[in-house]
Amino acid sequence: MCFMMMVCLTGMIVGLIAVASNPSPYFGALGLVMVAGMGCGVLVQYGSPFLALILFLIYLGGMLVVFAYSAALAAEPFPETWGDRSVMGYMLMYVVSLLLVSSTFREQWSGAFSGSADEWGPFYIFRADNGGVAVMYSEGGWMLVVGAGVLLLTLFVVLELTRGLNRGALRAV
């Protein structure tokens, strides 16, 4: 479990550095999908596979909309890749700053987040994520309705911004 947790956390850090250092939306979206996958892997390791699956599916759906929107607005014939000098400079700067921060706080982080949700009690009937889903639908149902309305509004805004011909707001750019 420790090895898989380290792989997922390292993948998250590499993905975050890839997103932060690259100005091209194509590679940024790929880095965000990598970060989402590795973050869901961390959730699975801590004992919440259902929550990880739901978050991954919702996040990938949102990323599909964001990627289509950014690819439509930033149609570069030759986007900057991770191998370019400027991008490699930013990546090196982020890695050095990450190493400095992690070496400074190494003693405080050691063993602070060990254990999973299944280790809380020996005779639990429900897992932690199953109980959370029940609470989300019973007491947090109004928040699900608000979230669905916000996503519907976002969809209409994106469709209005990327509408063709001369009627779209950002089409002249």
DSSP string, 39-66: HHHHHHHTT-HHHHHHHHHHHHHHHHHH
Same structural domain, 22 and 103: yes
Whether 118 is covered by a domain: the verdict is no
Domain count, the chain: 2
Same structural domain, 25 and 104: yes
With beta carbons less than 8 A apart as the criterion, state whether 65 and 155 touch.
Answer: yes
Instruction: List pLDDT tens digits, range 16-42.
Output: 888 888 777 777 777 888 888 999 898
Average pLDDT over residues 152-158: 83
In this prediction, residue 38 carries a pLDDT of 92
With beta carbons less than 8 A apart as the criterion, state whether 15 and 59 touch.
Answer: no
Same structural domain, 12 and 60: yes
Burial of 53 (0-12, 13-18, 19+ CB in 10 A): middle
Same structural domain, 80 and 148: no
Task: Please state the pTM of the whole predicted model.
Answer: 0.63
Whether 70 is covered by a domain: the verdict is yes
Same structural domain, 39 and 87: yes
Range of the domain at 83: 2-109
State both tokens at 19.
């997103």
Beta strands in 98-147 (DSSP E): none
Instruction: List pLDDT tens digits, range 57-111.
Output: 887 777 777 777 767 766 666 777 777 888 888 889 999 998 898 888 877 766 5
Whether 59 is covered by a domain: the verdict is yes
